[in-house]
Amino acid sequence: MTKDKIMITGSTSGVAIELASHLKKYNVIKVSRSQIDVIKNFCKYENFIIKNKPKIIINCIAANGIDYCENNPQEAFKINTAFPVFLAKISQRIGAKLIHFSTAAVFSGKKFKKLYNENSIANPNTIYGLSKYFADEFLSCYTNILILRVPMLYGPTHKKQLISRLLLKIMKNHKIYASSDVYSTPLYIPELAKIIVGIIKNKKKFFSKKSAEIINVSSKNYISIYQLVRKYAIYLKKTGNLVDVKNKYFSNALIKPKYLGLKSKKKYTSQMLINDCVKDHLEKINK
């Protein structure tokens, strides 16, 4: 076992579960909401972190989902902005490095085929995007922080997120509606986990003593939600219940950014073919 103690906050998140399975050689401390609820108690986290003194903290806690954040703005800003800033302060105090996740939703997503890089100007138009953007801004004042900005994620460890929910419906032969005009460069979570393991192994290269750094991690596939879900349906031979609709079919269409593709100037792009990701995902959930 290597010496580095790694704390993963939000250990029930899709990213955290996948990541933990890639970090078996490390001393990983997982913290879930059932142990400490961020909404109720920051101080408990402070005591827990100081007691455990991790070398690296990976923050997977988030108030995800556009609708949830629009309806619960106080919680969104507390979880997505205040908590990461609080973690940055403690990390700095104990000399730990912090990995945090940002989102493509910090961009307006109004232009078809536009891919946002690390230098693109953020212009969020949802509470979710704004709450994540504020964290990016405030964290930039701290050192030894790496912000990984990711597009829509999908993978076998995700249970509550969009692609997994749609996949479950396909498997149950339910009729499903997916947007053919909402695009992303979706990233397969096991690929993200591999990139993070590489970062942990090469800490010195990634963490700056000057300021926080943002890296976009994405795939190279610019694809609509419908096109991605259809790939699953084809593998499962269940395309019959899949209906392509325009974004305006959904209730949050007015605010939802439609074109949120990312690219990386720093070359952190998953090379795994999308059909292989879909196949791997289905194999893993059928095991």
Ligand X SMILES: NC(=O)c1ccc[n+]([C@@H]2O[C@H](COP(=O)([O-])OP(=O)(O)OC[C@H]3O[C@@H](n4cnc5c(N)ncnc54)[C@H](OP(=O)(O)O)[C@@H]3O)[C@@H](O)[C@H]2O)c1
Residues at the site binding ligand X, with contacts judged by CB under 6 A? 10, 12-15, 33, 37-39, 60-64, 79, 101, 103, 150, 152-153, 158, 161
User: Cβ 73 to ligand X, closest distance in Å?
Assistant: 14
What CA–CA distance (Å, rounded) separates 268 from 261?
Answer: 14
- Using CA atoms, how far residue 156 sits from 20, 174, 179, 240, 245, in Å, is 14, 20, 21, 23, 25
Of 123, 182, 150, give the one whose Cα is nearest residue 264. 150
User: Cβ 235 to ligand X, closest distance in Å?
Assistant: 21
User: 98 vs 152, which CB is nearer to ligand X?
Assistant: 152
User: Cβ 33 to ligand X, closest distance in Å?
Assistant: 4
User: 161 vs 221, which CB is nearer to ligand X?
Assistant: 161
What CA–CA distance (Å, rounded) separates 31 from 264?
Answer: 30
What CA–CA distance (Å, rounded) separates 126 from 258?
Answer: 12
User: Cβ 273 to ligand X, closest distance in Å?
Assistant: 20
Of 65, 103, 88, give the one whose Cα is nearest residue 216. 103
User: 32 vs 143, which CB is nearer to ligand X?
Assistant: 32
User: 84 vs 169, which CB is nearer to ligand X?
Assistant: 84
User: 56 vs 62, which CB is nearer to ligand X?
Assistant: 62
Residue 191: CA atoms inside 13 Å, Cβ hemisphere, count? Answer: 25
User: Cβ 65 to ligand X, closest distance in Å?
Assistant: 8
